[in-house]
Structure 1
Amino acid sequence: MLFNILKAKLKQIDSPFVRNVGWLGGSGAVIRVSRLITTVILARFLSSYDYGLAAIILTTNEFIRVFSRNGVGIRLIQGDEKQLEALSQSAYWLNWVVFAGLFGLQCGVAFPLAWFYDDKRLILPICAMALNLLLIPFGLVQAALLQREGRFKVIALTEMLQISTDNILSGILAFFGLGMWAIVLPKILVAPIWVYIIIKNHAWRPHGQFTTRHWGELFQFGRNILGVELLYTLRANLDYLIIGRFLSVEALGIYYFAFNAGLGISLSVMSSIKSALLPHLCDARAHPQLFKARYYHSLKTIGLILIPLVLLQSGLAPFYVPLVFGHKWIPAIPILILICLSAISRPFADSASQLLLAVDQPQKDLMWNLIFTAIFAVGLLIGVHWQSLGVAFAVLLTHLICLPVFTLWVMRYVFRTQLQYNEI
């Protein structure tokens, strides 16, 4: 009897969205296990100064790469089938122009950053990581088409292999005493894995000559999305920048450790949900009631998966941090708990952003992100007066207050305004 009830419940929640989240979440779980092992090794063999240098290098790379999240892939996911081939060809050549420019930009900013932080050791690793940017255009169109077709199994397995290899190599290099290079070098070495598997698993190939056709359309569609991604990346790294500039590289290292040890698992789950949700919603746009049902079902799935995970991890932090990572990281525990709790509201706001994209309203998402980024920056600048713990408290407070307001407003706007208009 109990088995039949459980089976019926599983059938109720089963959907392409849940299965795709399952693939991405399962991949993320394997990644997190490998990352946990690596984090333990890094915590034992790296100093807080090594962590601080790595944080600056990875933050720089993330700020440069945000310009690659310019909405081109999203346009391919939600574009009309009749235009898809022409858009794909244009997107391929546009990607090459964008990433070649980003390669030059990252190499260029390495020198002023070394001057800003007064550390010449930053120049070589920042330039070395820029090499990855020249590989990405080979498979970016195919990756978008795989998402459009709902083939998240391929994407999940690719990410699992690439990132797990990265984590394993980091642990090995840290053990042999490479310092911050133990974090940076593996990311360079594993980049070809993603390109090879993505290309191998999709039949699309570029053909014909270089073309700028549809670039205007791609830019027009993607400008709001790029703005959102820029603001999101700024918020994701603003606390690092403020702590590194106003406190110290050592303080940044402790904060960076706490952030990754506390929020890393939750971020991987949120990324899985975000990747799977947009194509799941776009597929139902022509059917308002199904569209609404899919969205609310996704929120239920998010709540069931993420909230217990966050509460469990934050509650157990005082026990597992000294046991697993070592007693030298005990000062990071309060920061870890606060950052971890800030994850509760994040995936619901991410889902609201995907909802706006699904109804072609990226400009409203951009406007919200401008407002929230300003509030977030003010909060961090106030919080830094109380050192790293004050910054972490500002992160928690702004996320728990502002993001639910945005989530509720989006649902009201879309389901009471947009869908009613579409039904007329």
Structure 2
Amino acid sequence: MNHKLPIWAVDNELTGRSATKSAGIAIGSGLARLLASFFGALVLARFLSPEDFGLIAIATPIILLVGAFADGGVSTYTLQSKQVTHRNLTLSFWLAIVTGLGVACFVALTSPLAAWLFKDERLIPILSALAFSILFSSIGSQHNALTKKFHRQDIYGIAEIIAAVSSLLGSVYIAYLGGEYWALVAIPVIRQLVHTTVVVLATGWVPGVPFVDTAMAKIIMGFSAYIIIFQIVNVLNKSIDKWMLGYHQDPEVLGYYAMAVSIMMLPSMQLLSPIGGAIIPHFSKVYHHENDRFGSVVRTVMVLLVSLICPAMIWASAYSELLLGTVLGEKWLMSAPVFSVLALASIAMTILSVVGWTYTSIGNSKVLSNLALFSVVILTITSAYGAMSGAVILAWVVLFNFILMILLYFTFIILDRNVEIPVLRIFLDITILISWSSLVVYTVVYLNSYYSINSYADLVFSFVLSILFSVVPALICFSDIRRQITVFRPKR
């Protein structure tokens, strides 16, 4: 490799200690983002109106969608390259800059179209400002790829933590000054600017001067096309419901829906992402080397994750009105019915994530992508109806789509002769777990109705009881869970 690369990229030797350290920091950065987003939502909800959140809920998915084209997927090309050279990295860097700048300008120029479509002129300056986050992301894309390629997640993780804290403080300060929706606009812009600055300085890699290599550029961009398609489908799956609601309803209604999503769904996504990063390699290793245990490992992971998230989500669903009124304030009570449904959807999303990890680990990306495309079509059709009927119906539509995708994924697993996963046993386990947790939570709700205590005490008391007694099915119905955990321990 060229000597212009960082020394740790030239003399790369990953030890068990460094891998553990990097993984720990990566998970820590995910928790930092989770806490920042969750705490930010709680604080900003006190300063801002539902209409402010609704405007950003329309704009952010647009930025994410066009952002899929920002670096052309060239950072992914760097990640999978067998050998990284300063020349190829420099070419990728300038390709990312050109595409990022082009996409940012495209967003700014077409922002009037979005404003016309969603009938709100405020989207023009909002989208123009958010376009800077795309450009900042493109500038640091190759530096980020370097840290991941050579197992320096510590650099990436530290940058994420600093960026998350900086964006939180900046947005809260703008909201305190009366900046309204600009406080929400500032979050991705500040986060990308700070993250890119820290990563660029920490890696120490400086790209060379721009040059033209048409043959290599075609190879890089050709590979990136498939990555872009996957990213677009992923963004559409997460955004169609908000766009449909924003089109058929006013920003205030969308704001109530967006707040429920940000509290119930985004934290789960941010936690599941680092967990999936650790689970997928383990699934793959077991599948290729100990295939007879693969099904039991998948069942163990799914049952454990659902056991952790199910009681809390059912509790949140049951106490949605009291929880929102206490934590966010009375003005957000309109979000309670949506919040209640999406809390249940987060359980389904957890199951769906584990199934997705299973397909990824066995290398069956074709089924994964085909079902993802199918889900976009179904979600578009059903969301159009749900959005016209209101935020609550739309939330039920999202839950229905999650359940439908779970059934389809499991059907394909049953038909796949290359894997043996106890699908029926998993369904039985999850059904028992959800049923028991629901019984416990709503028994506590019934008992609480006889007591006259303050809201905070009621929430804490009900939460502790719900979590405590929901452990019972893990002890009674899943008696072999301890034995199953041993599959994660290396054999002597």
**The two structures share one fold, judged by TM-score above 0.5:** yes
Cα gap change, 1:111 to 1:386, in 2 (>3 Å): closer
Letter in 2 for 1:379: T
- More displaced 10-residue stretch of structure 1: 67-76 or 298-307: 298-307
Indicate conservation of the 8 Å contact 1:78/1:282, yes or no: no
Quote the residue 2:77 is aligned against: 75
CA contact (8 A) 1:94 1:212 kept: no
Contact conserved, 1:114 with 1:122, CA < 8 A, in 2? yes
The reply on whether 1:260 has 2:262 as its aligned counterpart is yes
**Counterpart for residue 370 of structure 1:** 373
Deviations 1:177-225 (A, max 9, x none): 1110111124323433111221233354423542344333333333232
Matched, 1:398 2:401: yes
Q: Deviations over 1:16-68 (max 9, x none)?
A: 99876643333233333333332222222211211111222222222221223
Matched, 1:312 2:312: yes
Alignment deviations for residues 84-113 of structure 1 (CA, whole Å, 9 cap, x no partner): 655433322221221111111111221111
Q: Which runs of 5 or more structure 1 residues have no equivalent in the other structure? A: 1-13, 418-424
Residue of structure 1 equivalent to 2:466:
none
Distance 1:129 1:324 in 2: 29
Deviations 1:113-139 (A, max 9, x none): 122233222211211121222222332
Q: Does 1:171 align with 2:163?
A: no
Q: Distance in 2 between matches of 1:202 and 1:29?
A: 23
Counterpart pick for 1:25 among 24, 27, 46: 27
Q: TM-score, normalised by structure 2?
A: 0.71
Q: Which residue of 1 aligns with 2:246?
A: 244
2-side partners of 1:351 and 1:85: how far apart? Answer: 38
Instruction: Write the deviation string for residues 279-332 of structure 1: whole angstroms up to 9, x where unpaired.
Output: x479969x9217998998688556535652354144135242111101221221
Relative CO higher for 1 or 2, CA cutoff 8 Å, sep ≥ 6?
1
From the superposition, tell whether residues 270 and 153 of structure 1 become closer, same or farther in structure 2 (CA, over 3 Å). same
Question: 1:223 — aligned with what?
Answer: 225
3-state secondary structure, aligned to 1:201? helix
Pairwise CA distance, 1:162: 0.7
Residue equivalent to 2:63: 61
Number of residue-to-residue matches in the alignment: 401
RMSD after superposition: 3.5
Q: Are the aligned partners of 1:54 and 1:184 in contact in 2 as well (CA < 8 Å)? A: yes
- 1:19 and 1:384, CA in 2 relative to 1: closer, same or farther beyond 3 A? farther
Q: For 1:362 and 1:219, locate their aligned partners in 2 and report how far apart those are by CA, in whole Å.
A: 20
Equivalent in the alignment of 1:36: 38
Further displaced range: 106-115 or 406-415: 406-415
Cα deviation for residue 275 of structure 1 reads 4.9
* Residue equivalent to 1:124: 125
- Change beyond 3 A, Cα 1:407–1:80: farther
1:151 and 2:152 are equivalent in the alignment: yes
Aligned to 1:383: 386
**1:396 partner amino acid:** L
C-alpha separation between the residues in 1 aligned to 2:307 and 2:214? 46
CA contact (8 A) 1:225 1:362 kept: no
2:272 aligned residue: 270
Once the two structures are TM-superposed, the CA of residue 176 in structure 1 deviates from its matched residue by 2.1
1:69–1:226 CA contact under 8 A, matched in 2: no
Larger radius of gyration: 2
Q: CA 1:146–1:410 in 2, change beyond 3 Å: closer, same or farther?
A: farther
Aligned CA distance change for structure 1 residues 32 and 75 (closer, same or farther; 3 Å) = same
Q: Structure 1 pair 151/415, CA: closer, same or farther in 2 (3 Å)?
A: farther
Separation (CA, whole Å) in 2 of partners of 1:216 and 1:32: 38
Q: Percent identity?
A: 19
State the distance in 1 between where 2:417 and 2:80 align.
18
Aligned match of 2:289:
289
Give SS of 2:178's match: coil
Q: State the SS of the aligned residue for 2:31.
A: helix
- Distance in 1 (CA, whole Å) between partners of 2:357 and 2:415 is 15
Whether the 8 Å contact between 1:61 and 1:130 is mirrored in structure 2 is yes
Closer, same or farther in 2 for the Cα pair 1:134/1:144, shift >3 Å?
same
Q: Secondary structure at the match of 1:304?
A: helix
Amino acid at match of 1:304: L
Question: Conserved in 2, the CA contact under 8 Å of 1:73 and 1:141?
Answer: yes
User: Structure 2: 5+ residue runs without aligned partners?
Assistant: 1-15, 421-492
Determine if contact 2:341/2:395 at 8 Å carries over to the other structure. Answer: yes
Structure 1 SS opposite 2:208: coil
